[in-house]
Amino acid sequence: MSSWKLFRDRYIRDRKYQYGVIRSIADWTIIVYLIIPAILFIIFRYRSWWVELPRWIESIPFILVFMLIYLLSWNGSIRTYVEEADKVFLIKMQSIFFGMKKWGYIYSLFSQSLVTAITFLILLPFLSNHFFLSWQKIGALLFFFIALKALIMLVKYHLKKIDKRFKKLVLSFLFFAALSWISQLIYILWDKGALFLVCLCGIVFLTASIYFSLKSIQKLSAIDHEIDMGRADKTKNIELIFILSNEIEKPIVSKRTKPLLFRRSKRILKKRVPANGFIELFLKVFLRNRSYVISYFQIISVGTVAIVLIPPLWIKIIIFFGFLIMMNSWLSLVWDKIAPSNPLSKKFSETDFYFKARKRAVLFLFMTAITLLAVFVVCWHIILSQFGMPFGLFRR
């Protein structure tokens, strides 16, 4: 068994697993009536961009496209295909073990570079026919983002090894900001025509990233983190299905020993009546559970994007009322899940103050969601209006 054959076998098993996940939700009916028509629609729409550019591209500056590509570059990570049993068996054959990890890194770098190239291919009609970029400029920019992608993969590899959430969040923000500033500096050089310096920076980034990445994956101390990262990457499609499904509970395992909010369980409401006790219990459980908070903001985010981007006003109104119905129904379901789980709440679940508390708690989070939706919509409307983009709030 060589390292290449071992990597190939594990890669094939992983592809079969991902195919099984996709087939679990996409039967032949969905493939024939949804996926294939969607693919054909995208192909014809892309072809139409070469014939005639859409009007909305006229008001978009290139720096916005550049930053969009930068944001997309943060997707993807290093996959070494290490499994749990390797700590006992394969680690004894270090040449095969490290060889397999190197093949995994090479494939990760190649696949992510291919994703970057596909991104440029999709944007090519705009880069060539609207921004009138030469092939030299497009090629230099593509090479830089491939090199930047390799550097970001290395940074994310080390960030994922950090267990403390706050430390990881702070370092992630600092690296994101630092690489953003570097990318903007490269953009200035690229815009002035210094393509040689842009390519030189790309060569430095790519060479350093490959060298330190290969050096990092050779450390035996990182095997547990690589197993966790591989498991997360393997199940990302399943987690995406869970996120898109409101009927499936999304449990999130936390390593925190103490709750971040209400550590000493202080009172929220001063007036001590039975209804307020139920409300406090519900709010504390809701805010401490990250899955509930994430789902709450996901519904608000989806409503915000739909209201901002879909032009006709009458469709915006329909979306808004659909958001109200969905949010109210979801909050009611969350209450019915949280409140009866407490023995004391279950005992008084048929009392008047129980239903009064349910109504007030759901109404509070419901009105908060409407307020946040309005704030997000107005903020996005202001931001898009600064670029003159045609996704105005009151466009008919």
Tokens representing residue 387 in the block: 């670029």
pLDDT in tens, 166-199: 888 899 999 999 999 999 999 999 999 899 999 9
396 within 8 A of 312, measured Cβ to Cβ: yes
- Token pair for residue 183? 């990318």
Domain boundaries, the chain: 3-240, 253-386
- Whether the pTM exceeds 0.85: the reply is no
Q: Which residues contact 281 (CB under 8 A, 6 or more apart)?
A: 338, 339, 342, 345
Window from 51-55, 136-140, 153-157, 314-318 with minimum mean pLDDT: 314-318
| N- to C-terminal Cα separation, the chain | 64
Does the pLDDT value for residue 67 go beyond 80? yes
Digit-coded pLDDT (tens) for 305-335: 878 777 667 778 888 888 888 888 888 888 8
Cα(110)–Cα(105) distance, rounded to whole angstroms?
8
Q: Is 60 helix (H, G, I), strand (E, B) or coil?
A: coil
∠364-368-370 over CA atoms, to 5°?
120
Q: Which of 252, 245, 390, 372 is nearest to 310 (CA)?
A: 390
- pLDDT bin (cut points 50, 70, 90) of residue 392 is very low
pLDDT of residue 393: 39
Range with top average pLDDT, 208-212, 290-294, 391-395? 208-212
Q: What is the pLDDT of residue 316?
A: 80
Which is more confidently placed, 175 or 228?
175
Mean of all residue pLDDT scores within the chain: 81
Whether residue 380 contacts residue 301, with contact meaning beta carbons closer than 8 Å, is answered with: no
